[in-house]
Amino acid sequence: MSAPHQQQDTFELLRKKAESLVRQSAGDAIEYPNDIIELVQELEIRQKELEIQNEELQRAQAELSTLHRESDRLYEFAPCGYLTINKKGIIARVNLTGTMLLGKARKILTRTSFSQYISPHWDQFYIAAIQKAGQTGEKQTFDLPLKRDNGHRFWVRAEIGVDRDETGEVNQWWMILIDIDKSKRLEKALKDSEEKYRRLFQTEKGELQNILDSIPALIFYKDTQNRILKDNHYFAETTGLKKKDLEGRSVEEIAIDKDIASANWHDDLEVLNSGKAKRNIIEPLITDKNRWFRTDKIPHLDMYGEINGLIGFSFEITEHLRAEEDSRLLRENLAHLDRVTMMGEFAASLAHEINQPLTAIMSNAEAARHFLRKDPPNLEEVSDILNDIISDDERAGKVIKRLRRVFKKSSLELTNVDLTPVIEESISIVKSELILRNIAIRKDLDKNIKTVFGDRVQLQQVILNLILNALEAMRTTAIDSRRITFATCIIDPQTARVSIEDSGPGIPQKKLDRIFQPFFTTRKEGIGMGLSINRSIIEAQGGRIWAENITDGGARFNFTIPLHNAGIE
């Protein structure tokens, strides 16, 4: 069922419930002409509808509180290890994933040097990275083999950055560890196999075939006509075909899909025509679209040095791709959780936005009842009141509609988005909060920007998060000096820039280059994921995000987003 139909069904169900409540209380009604009775009933139904909507909002706020409590546990189980290392090289802080990677309890890890978990002869790379991070202030990324007490060695991708104190001296280092052991071992096995089997193809046929048949990878030899001349047992077993049905036949004859066969042949031609190997080809099995392999194809030369075919090695990566998809879904869930948690920060403001029209509707309904009880009823006054009720009802409905759109859980959907309405709607959502905190709003929005290419909900999430940060930054700013400025402009024919500027104290210079890193926060109650998620969202949509201090005070956050061609006048 489509979203509009679902929404229509929801409102119809809401109205039926309200009508039922009105009928239950209709027994004591005063007798009036039918048109007056219908008018009163319509007022009562609208009042019941809004009461039901208010109950639903309260339930949603309770769910928000539950999700907020669960967010800490989600970050503790982040899919990477996060460590803080003091100046003595001792691990000062580590998350649960980090303890699992290093194979020790947190209370033990936080008393030991990280160096003792580095494989022999590799500590020099770690030391060099720390020194360079301290000298340049730039994040250092490198692959590092680690070890556990039981002797097990494994590979991680390490990111190291530096944290300085007020004097500019190194205070501590932060480190992110990503487990890449499986991919490293697969890469080594592939390189070893490639060299090994290149030599083996030149040995005795019987001995060669026995060895090839024992390898758990697809190995094949094809000629320049795309015919499979040789393959191993695993190739035949995986494709579900017998050797006699494979050898001498072209991929076009065997493949279950013409597109698969065409893509396969296209890769072969690149190797045959260039005489160079083509590696890391991601392709489906020619007999099963649901199984995926990573293939290397290497040109094969005859005794005169002429290319007479190619040798292929394929390793199945179906589970790896599924894991990547799970990781993508996790990132989307984190972004959704951040939206929900962020809206929890504005709960009081949102409740105020809803209660205002509800209070007005109830007051107008009582006034209408009063005018209807007069003899004769003042229907002209009642008509004016009904118009006010309808206006307030629509205002409450718009607030709820905006909230539903923000809370909606969905995948990244890049479409043409009107940028200015997204900014205006974001401001509307937190309007009451801005008024309560005496925040002045300034807007300098470029009218030449019509549409950008991005995800509307996630762009609004970024804007709301930056507004929340601005509000927090201005807590100690004088009331008459609090302001947020929104600006947009076109910086080149393909790109628009959005800027959100506050009048707070600005960002400490030594922290400016770290604020988009995971788990880094300047707020006592913060968990350090908001700006990191903002960066992921913007980069996934082809833009970039950065922060800068303003000379006269305050901070400015900027992000870029691709323009859609139709959006440039």
Which pLDDT tens digit goes with each residue over 83-138? 989 988 999 988 888 899 999 999 999 989 999 999 888 888 898 998 898 888 88
* Same-domain check for residues 18 and 96: no
At 331 the pLDDT is 54
State pLDDT tens for residues 292-313.
899 999 999 876 678 889 989 8
Higher pLDDT, 214 or 109: 109
Higher pLDDT, 563 or 515: 563
Burial grade of 350 (CB within 10 A; 0-12, 13-18, 19 or more): buried
Q: Crossing angle for the helix pair 530-540 and 456-473, nearest 10 degrees?
A: 150
Among 488, 351, 340, 342, CA closest to 407: 340
Indicate the DSSP class of residue 304: T
At 489 the pLDDT is 95
Three-class secondary structure of residue 383 per DSSP:
helix
* Same-domain check for residues 465 and 492: yes
* Same-domain check for residues 123 and 196: no
Lowest mean pLDDT of 38-47, 128-137, 260-269, 336-345, name the range.
336-345
Instruction: Report pTM.
Output: 0.42
At 502 the pLDDT is 94
* Same-domain check for residues 145 and 126: yes
Q: Give the confidence band of 392 by pLDDT, cuts at 50, 70, 90.
A: low
Inter-CA distances, 450 with 9, 369, 402, 562, Å: 34, 47, 21, 12
Could you say which of 153, 179, 205 is where a domain stops?
Answer: 179
Residue with tokens 């899919």: 79
Is pLDDT at 286 greater than 50 in this prediction?
Answer: yes
Does some domain include residue 563? yes
Q: Give the confidence band of 386 by pLDDT, cuts at 50, 70, 90.
A: confident
Could you say which of 161, 179, 197 is where a domain stops?
Answer: 179
- Cβ distance 332 to 203 under 8 Å? no
* Same-domain check for residues 557 and 432: yes
Among 458, 394, 468, CA closest to 429: 468
Is pLDDT at 381 greater than 90 in this prediction?
Answer: no
At 411 the pLDDT is 58
At 566 the pLDDT is 39
Q: Which of 37-41, 294-298, 333-337, 393-397 has the highest mean pLDDT?
A: 294-298
Cβ contacts of 490 within 8 Å, gap of 6 or more: 446, 448, 449, 496, 497, 563, 568
Q: Give the confidence band of 168 by pLDDT, cuts at 50, 70, 90.
A: confident
What is the tally of structural domains in the chain? 4
Dihedral pair phi/psi, residue 381, rounded to 5°? -65, -40
Segment 27-52 mean pLDDT: 66
Segment 196-206 mean pLDDT: 59
CA angle 403, 405, 406 (to 5 degrees): 65
CATH of the domain at 237: 3.30.450.20
Could you say which of 147, 179, 211 is where a domain stops?
Answer: 179
* Same-domain check for residues 234 and 168: no
Is pLDDT at 229 greater than 50 in this prediction?
Answer: yes
State pLDDT tens for residues 447-475.
899 899 988 878 887 888 888 888 888 98
* Same-domain check for residues 191 and 168: no
Q: Give the confidence band of 568 by pLDDT, cuts at 50, 70, 90.
A: very low
Kindly report the length of the chain. 569
Is pLDDT at 360 greater than 70 in this prediction?
Answer: no
pLDDT cut 90: percent of the chain above it: 20
Inter-CA distances, 389 with 10, 38, 104, 250, 417, Å: 21, 16, 64, 74, 33
